[in-house]
């Protein structure tokens, strides 16, 4: 009988309601442990992020100082939408999906980064789309460089999203230009190309966010550009 009573007591201990309370208390304890770990880690997060940014900046700066490369920039933040409205015209910015106010500020921050690091591109080239041209003009302005750097519209950087343009011809022209830049004898020269996600992705295999820039160089025929630095956005 004593053995049977012990068995019945053990069964009561594992009643579903009792188990549910244990699980709930266990969850509360785990949540407390996570909060404590987060509180301990929070003061360290700022310095760690700053250190990561510093290393990324250093990688970009040293790569650009060596030259023989291109900076591929996806245009800055735009107003909401995808692609362009019907009837879009290249000679009319109001007919296009253009930069938002944040995008213009983002472009200026991008240019400030170049100026603060003493980096001046040998050439600034842009898609003919207004969101790309305005990204370049806001970034490489007189305020950031003492003089307005010329921005050259270049059809090779135009969008070919939704069947626009001539994808293969444009990519071939951009690839040949990158090959010539990579093969230059003089060090310290680089170009800036402001373009679209589809162009950057086709040339490098990388999917950039708006306002992100990456440094790349020609690799070999039939291969994507070699990415030398990436992940910097403003």
Cα angle 207-211-216, degrees, rounded to a multiple of 5:
55
Q: What is the pLDDT of residues 99-128, one digit of tens each?
A: 999 999 999 999 999 999 999 999 999 999
**CA 107 to CA 146: how far, in whole Å?**
16
Asked whether residue 227 is assigned to any structural domain, the reply reads yes
Count: domains in the chain: 2
Q: Are residues 40 and 86 in the same domain?
A: no
- CATH number at 134 reads 3.40.50.1240
For residue 21, pLDDT over 60 is answered with no
Note the pLDDT of residue 111: 97
Confidence band, pLDDT 50/70/90 cuts, at residue 186: confident
Q: Examine the domain organization and report whether 152 and 219 are in the same domain.
A: yes
pLDDT at 228 over 60: yes
53 against 104, higher pLDDT? 104
Same domain, 44 and 74: no
**Any domain includes 56:** no
Q: Is residue 57 part of a domain?
A: no
**What percentage of the chain carries pLDDT values higher than 70?**
76
On whether residue 95 sits in a domain, the answer given is yes
**Mean pLDDT computed over 36-60:** 58
* 58 occurs within a structural domain: no
pLDDT at 5: 43
- Note the pLDDT of residue 37: 58
Residues 216 and 182: their CA atoms lie apart, in Å, by 9
| Residues 41 and 79 grouped into a single domain | no
Nearest to 171, CA basis, from 152, 158, 190: 158
pLDDT beyond 90 at 3: no
In a domain, 149, yes or no: yes
Q: Examine the domain organization and report whether 219 and 191 are in the same domain.
A: yes
Residues 103 and 159 in one domain: yes
pLDDT of residue 226 exceeding 70: yes
What's the whole-number average pLDDT of the chain?
A: 85
What are the start-end ranges of the H helices in the chain? Answer: 2-13, 16-66, 101-116, 130-139, 142-145, 167-182, 197-204
Same-domain check for residues 127 and 32: no
| Full DSSP string of 105-158 | HHHHHHHHHHHHTT---SEEEE-SSHHHHHHHHHHT-HHHHSSPPPEEE-GGGS
> Same domain for 158 and 228?
yes
| Residue 44 shares a structural domain with residue 73 | no
Asked if residue 60 is part of any domain, the answer here is no
- Average pLDDT, integer, range 49-76: 85
For residue 179, tell me if it sits in a domain: yes
**Residues 156, 71 within the same domain:** yes
Lowest mean pLDDT among 26-30, 84-88, 135-139, 214-218: 26-30
Whole-number pLDDT of residue 10? 43
Are residues 76 and 45 part of one domain?
Answer: no
User: What is the extent of the structural domain holding 24?
Assistant: 1-51
Question: What pLDDT sits at residue 29?
Answer: 62
R_g of the chain computed on alpha carbons: 27
Please indicate, yes or no, whether residues 162 and 121 belong to a single structural domain of this protein: yes
């Amino acid at each position: 009988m004593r053995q049977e009573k012990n068995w019945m007591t053990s069964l009561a201990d594992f009643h579903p309601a009792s188990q549910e309370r244990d699980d709930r208390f266990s969850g509360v304890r785990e949540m407390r442990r996570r909060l404590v770990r987060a509180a301990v880690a929070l003061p360290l997060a700022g310095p760690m992020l700053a250190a990561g940014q510093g290393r990324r900046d250093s990688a970009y700066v040293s790569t650009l100082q060596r030259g023989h490369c291109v900076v591929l920039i996806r245009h800055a933040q735009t107003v909401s939408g995808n692609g362009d409205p019907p009837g879009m015209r290249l000679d009319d910015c109001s007919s296009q999906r253009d930069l938002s106010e944040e995008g213009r500020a983002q472009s200026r921050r991008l240019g400030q980064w170049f100026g603060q690091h003493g980096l001046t591109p040998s050439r600034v080239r842009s898609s003919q789309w207004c969101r790309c041209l305005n990204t370049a003009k806001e970034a490489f302005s007189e305020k950031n460089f003492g003089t307005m750097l010329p921005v050259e519209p270049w059809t090779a950087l135009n969008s070919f999203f939704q069947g626009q343009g001539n994808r293969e011809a444009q990519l071939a022209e951009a690839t040949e230009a990158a090959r010539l830049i990579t093969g230059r004898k003089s060090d310290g020269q680089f170009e800036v190309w402001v373009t679209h996600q589809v162009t950057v992705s086709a040339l490098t295999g990388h999917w950039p966010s708006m306002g992100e820039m990456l440094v790349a160089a020609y690799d070999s025929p039939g291969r994507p550009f070699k990415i030398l630095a990436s992940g910097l956005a403003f």
